[in-house]
């Protein structure tokens, strides 16, 4: 046998639940259910679907995300196109690409847009539970809206998604909220921060020293325990916000309060990308260890102009699909049954053509029917029928065929009960299987 070729480290297959696997990754039925739930919830709010390329010019992310960010400094999969020397990157996040597309197509010309996409993102990180090198995000963006109404809408939309998925807000997932103010306010805060860090220079680690002047805000994001107390005592941006920024934040909060959504104002919530201003938020869980952020986003009013477009405000979020599904799986939340309504057993090859015509008619009514392809003994076929989770076995046998019929046998409720049905009047009885599915 030839050598096996395995997937790239940190990049995973999403497989049907029937395939045994040792890692804890979500199965494809859960994944599929999540995607259809997302489509339904986003449609309720009038968000439109968009697809952008997985590969973009490297400059897009360097300019969009900021040079001194974890992603741009050390997490990007960048390469040179061997055909023409172009510098390219596998997208580490979706916002920059969507903004690029909007600017390229002058898409905001006719007014603001509500958009969403979902797909793979790539970051060269140390793989662990909830952290992969290829992972998937749901990404929702509202472009051309100044807020605060849309900021609150996006947060409420995520809450609606939690509800639809069976997650309890406040228990399984909690909202954290902050305002980053405007650039001038951040500058004043930043100056005060640098003074604070300089006064505690002895406590700064290597990362912090490097960022002290390039991006001191990111020092607040440190995971170094030795720096926690010093970071907690640092001046808070909230105290540097002007009247307008405060009013924006208060207006977002007023909607959330009216909607009965509880949240924690977390002054240390700064987010990993440089482009954010005003509202930022994260949905976090205690159930996934240090990979506890399932969704994060905020306002990025400067990004569109920075990408060469006509200045326009925007806000959005990214949700980590693997992390969210790990959470749902870990909580053992009930997921709608993906089992077929019926499993078809054909006892002899010559009966197959007629049987398959009937199955086509059944499926046309919307029924989920799986054919036992490949033949085999009745016993082994019934075993498969049972394992499929189907409610009914449809038996196409010689006796039945001679009478122009098939046998419908209940596999679960009323187990063993069976009825003969006509092969030529499928529509008459198809509904009776449907109602049980
Ligand atoms: P973290 O602090 O955990 O690295 P982040 O701030 O880098 O997260 P974002 O860029 O805000 O993450 O991405 C949005 C969401 O995408 C995260 O909240 C998380 O759920 C998910 N995510 C980010 N990186 C990964 C990864 N490497 N593997 C799986 N999911 C990820
Ligand atoms: Mg990260």
**Residue segments in the chain with a per-residue pLDDT below the cut of 50:** 436-437
The pTM assigned to this predicted structure is: 0.88
pLDDT, position 436: 47
Q: Kindly state whether residue 233 falls inside one of the protein's structural domains.
A: no
Nearest ligand 1 atom, CA 282: 18
Do residues 133 and 122 lie in contact, with contact meaning Cβ atoms separated by under 8 Å?
yes
First to last CA, the chain: 44
Select from 402, 407, 396, 403 the least CA-distant residue to 429.
407
Give the sheet arrangement for strand 87-90, strand by strand: 55-57, 87-90, 77-80
Domain boundary among 305, 331, 357: 331
Q: Distance from the CA of 376 to the center of ligand 2, in angstroms?
A: 52
Give residue 111's domain range.
Answer: 28-181+241-331
Ligand 1 neighbours by CB, cut-off 6 Å: 93, 123, 125, 130-132, 135, 137, 272, 291, 293-296, 318, 320, 322-323
363 shares a domain with 288? no
170 shares a domain with 314? yes
Q: Kindly state whether residue 190 falls inside one of the protein's structural domains.
A: no
Q: Kindly state whether residue 337 falls inside one of the protein's structural domains.
A: no
Dump strand ranges (E) for 337-425: 342-346, 369-371, 392-396, 405-410, 418-422
Phi/psi-derived region of residue 144, left when phi > 0, alpha when psi is between -120 and 50, beta in every other case? left
Q: Kindly state whether residue 359 falls inside one of the protein's structural domains.
A: yes
Contacts 24+ apart (CB under 8 A), 121-124: 121/91, 121/92, 121/93, 121/94, 122/54, 122/76, 122/77, 122/90, 122/91, 122/92, 123/71, 123/75, 123/76, 123/77, 123/92, 124/74, 124/75, 124/76, 124/77
User: What is the CA 154 to chain-centroid distance, rounded?
Assistant: 15
Domain boundary among 308, 331, 354: 331
What is the number of the ligand closest to the CA of 94?
A: 1
- Is 94 labelled a binding residue? yes
CATH number at residue 266: 3.30.930.10
Which residues, other chains included, contact 252 with Cβ-Cβ below 8 Å and sequence gap of 6+?
147, 148, 151, 152, 155, 177, 279
- Is 137 labelled a binding residue? yes
What is the number of the ligand closest to the CA of 318?
A: 1
Report the alpha-carbon distance of residue 316 to residue 298 in Å, rounded.
6
Q: Total structural domains in the chain?
A: 2
258 shares a domain with 288? yes
348 shares a domain with 324? no
346 shares a domain with 251? no
161 shares a domain with 104? yes
Select from 11, 39, 209 the least CA-distant residue to 117.
39
**Closest Cα to atom 22, ligand 1: which residue?**
320
pLDDT per residue over 89-104, tens digit each?
Answer: 999 999 999 999 999 9
Q: Kindly state whether residue 42 falls inside one of the protein's structural domains.
A: yes
How does strand 174-179 pair with strand 77-80? unpaired
Domain boundary among 301, 331, 361: 331
348 shares a domain with 399? yes
Angle separating helix axes 58-65 and 95-104, nearest 10 degrees: 110
Q: Kindly state whether residue 214 falls inside one of the protein's structural domains.
A: no
- Is 141 labelled a binding residue? yes
292 shares a domain with 355? no
SS3 label, residue 171: coil
What is the number of the ligand closest to the CA of 223?
A: 1
Report the alpha-carbon distance of residue 2 to residue 345 in Å, rounded.
37
pLDDT, position 431: 87
SS3 label, residue 203: helix
pLDDT, position 252: 98
């Amino acid at each position: 046998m030839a050598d096996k070729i395995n997937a790239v480290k940190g990049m995973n297959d999403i497989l049907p639940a029937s395939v045994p696997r040792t890692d804890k990754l979500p199965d494809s039925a859960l994944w599929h259910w999540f995607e259809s739930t997302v489509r339904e919830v986003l449609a309720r709010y009038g968000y439109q679907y968009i697809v952008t390329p997985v590969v973009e010019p490297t400059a897009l992310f360097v300019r969009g995300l900021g040079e001194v960010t974890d992603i741009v400094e050390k997490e990007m999969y960048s390469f040179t196109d061997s055909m023409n020397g172009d510098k390219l990157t596998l997208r580490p996040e979706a916002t920059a690409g969507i903004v690029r597309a909007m600017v390229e197509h002058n898409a905001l010309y006719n007014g603001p847009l509500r958009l969403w996409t979902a797909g793979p993102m790539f970051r060269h990180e140390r793989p662990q539970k909830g952290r992969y090198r290829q992972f998937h995000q749901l990404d929702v963006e509202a472009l051309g809206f100044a807020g605060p109404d849309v900021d609150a809408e996006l947060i409420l939309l995520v809450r609606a998604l939690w509800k639809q998925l069976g997650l309890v807000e406040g228990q399984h997932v909690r909202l954290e909220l902050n305002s980053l103010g405007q650039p001038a306010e951040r500058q004043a805060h930043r100056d005060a921060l640098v003074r604070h860090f300089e006064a505690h220079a002895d406590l700064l680690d290597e990362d912090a020293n490097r960022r002290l002047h390039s991006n001191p805000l990111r020092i607040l994001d440190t995971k170094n325990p030795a720096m926690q107390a010093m970071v907690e005592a640092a001046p808070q941006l909230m105290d540097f916000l002007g009247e307008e920024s405060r009013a924006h934040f208060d207006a977002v909060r007023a909607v959330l309060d009216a909607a009965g959504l509880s949240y924690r104002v977390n002054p240390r919530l700064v987010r990993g990308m440089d482009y954010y201003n005003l509202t930022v938020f994260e949905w976090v869980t205690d159930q996934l260890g240090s990979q506890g952020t399932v969704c994060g986003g905020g306002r990025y009013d400067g990004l569109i102009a920075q990408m060469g477009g006509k200045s326009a405000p925007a806000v959005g979020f990214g949700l980590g699909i693997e992390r969210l599904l790990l959470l749902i799986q870990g909580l053992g939340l009930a997921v709608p049954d993906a089992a077929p309504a019926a499993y078809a057993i054909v006892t002899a090859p010559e009966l197959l053509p007629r049987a398959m015509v009937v199955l086509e008619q059944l499926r046309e009514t919307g029924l989920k029917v799986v054919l036992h392809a490949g033949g085999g003994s009745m016993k082994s076929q019934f075993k498969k029928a049972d394992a499929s989770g189907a409610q009914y076995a449809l038996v196409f046998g010689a006796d039945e065929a001679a009478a122009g019929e098939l046998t419908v046998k209940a596999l679960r409720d009323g187990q063993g009960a069976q009825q003969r049905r006509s092969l030529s009047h499928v529509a008459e009885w198809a509904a009776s299987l449907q109602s049980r599915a």
